[in-house]
Amino acid sequence: MSLKLNGGSWKRYFQVPCALVDSYLKLASGPALKLFLYLASCEDSPDEEKIISATGIKKSELEEAVMFWRELGVISGSEAGAREEIAEKASEETVTKVVHSRYTPKDMAEMIQNSPKLRELFDEAETTLGRILKHADRETLINLTDYYGFDEESVVLILGYCAELEKTSARYYETVAKSLFEKGIVGFKDIEAEFERMRERHSFESQIKRDFGIDVKLSQKQKNLINEWRDMGFGVDMISLARERCTDATNKISFAYIDKILKSWHEKNIGTVEAALSERKPTAAKTERSFDLDEFDRFTLGTEETT
C-alpha cells in the first residue's frame, strides 16, 4: 500500500522531529500526539482552552499529555506544571494508592527498547483491554511484574478477567492484582482457579437475583448471605423454596427470614426440595410472628430489604 497527502490546502507544512517517530510514536497516546502536532504548528503559546478547542482533547487527557511531554523535556510552562501538581495533590487526598516505583516516559522508552518481553506484554495488554495504553497503564503493568512479582502470563490473565467485567482502568486491575497478592495467590494456575471460583460465585448471585426478581445491585450483606447459603450446600431450588415460604408468611422478600429458614434446614440435614416439602408444617400458633419483621430485617441486615 502506497499513501501520500494530496495537494491543495495540504501544502502548508511544519517540521516534525524524526525522534517523534523513532522513539515515541508507539509510546505516546493519541491525545499526546495531538498535543505535540498542535504545538509544533503554533507560533504562539496557546492556553489550555485554546488547545482543547483546537484539538478536541478532553481536559483530563490534556493533563496527562502535558505530563508525558513535560517529563521528556519536550515542552515547558510553569502553568502546566502547576496544574499537574494540583491534580496530583487532589488525587492523593481522595485515593489511597499502592506505593511503588514511578517511571518517566523517557525511562519507560528505554525499558521498552531494551526488553522485548515488556514490548510483548504491552501489545498483549492493548489487545486484551481493547484500547491504547496510557502512561499510567504502562507504569502499572511494569509494577505488576516488578513490585508484585506476577509473570507476564498471569498479568494478561488478570487483565482478561477485568475486561470480562468491563472494568479496564489501571486502578481497577491493580486493585484486583493487589487482592490476589495479599491472599498469596500469585501463580498462573492458582489465579485461574480463583477467577473460576469468583465467576461461579457471581453466576450464583445472578441466578438468585433473577429468582427473587431483584433488578438492583445487591448489598454486600445480601451477597454475604447468598454465599453462606451456597457454602451450606443449598442450590437455587432450595433457596427458591425458602423464598416462597418467606413470601407466603410475610408477603415480602426478607433475606433475614430466608436465612432463618435455610439455617433451620441445615441444622436438620434437610438438603433437598423433597425433604423440605415432606417436613411437618408447623402449627398456626408456632408460625404466628411475635416480633416486628421489618425491625428484625433492619437489625439483622442493617439495610432496607427488597419488597
Spatial separation of the C-alpha atoms in residues 185 and 179, rounded to whole Å? 9
Q: At what angle do helices 135-146 and 152-164 cross, to 10 degrees?
A: 130
Cβ count near 138 (within 10 Å): 23
**pLDDT greater at residue 152 or residue 63:** 152
**Residue 140, CA distances (Å) to 47, 128, 172 in order:** 31, 15, 11
Instruction: Count Cα neighbours of 229 within 13 Å in the Cβ-side half-sphere.
Output: 30
Q: pTM value?
A: 0.55
Looking at 67-71, 213-217, 250-254, 276-280, which range is the least confident one?
67-71
Of 39 and 274, the structure prediction assigns the larger pLDDT to 274
- 145/60: higher pLDDT: 145
| Lowest mean pLDDT segment, chosen from 132-146, 260-274, 279-293 | 279-293
Taking the CA atoms of 15, 19, 21 and 25 in sequence, report the sign of the dihedral they define: negative
What is the predicted pLDDT for the residue at 267? Answer: 93
**Rounded Cα gap, residues 58 and 222, in angstroms:** 39
Residue 89, SS3 per DSSP? helix
| C-alpha cell at position 41 | 504548528
pLDDT at residue 23 tops 90: no
Grid look-up 419483621 returns 293
For 108-162, the pLDDT digits (tens) are 888 888 889 999 999 999 999 999 998 889 999 998 998 888 999 999 999 999 9
> In whole angstroms, what is the distance from residue 260 CA to residue 246 CA?
10
Amino acid sitting at position 212: F
pLDDT for the residue numbered 159? 96
Q: What SS3 state is found at 104?
A: coil
50, 63 in Cβ contact below 8 A?
Answer: no
Q: Cα(66)–Cα(140) distance, rounded to whole angstroms?
A: 19
Greatest CA span in the chain, whole angstroms?
A: 93
What is the CB neighbour count within 10 angstroms for residue 71?
18
Q: Indicate the pLDDT class of residue 301, thresholds 50, 70 and 90.
A: low
Q: Are 68 and 28 in contact (CB under 8 A)?
A: yes
CA–CA dist 294, 307 (Å, integer): 11
Distance between CA atoms of residues 271 and 262, nearest Å: 9
Looking at residue 253, its amino acid is I
User: What is the per-residue pLDDT for 61?
Assistant: 83
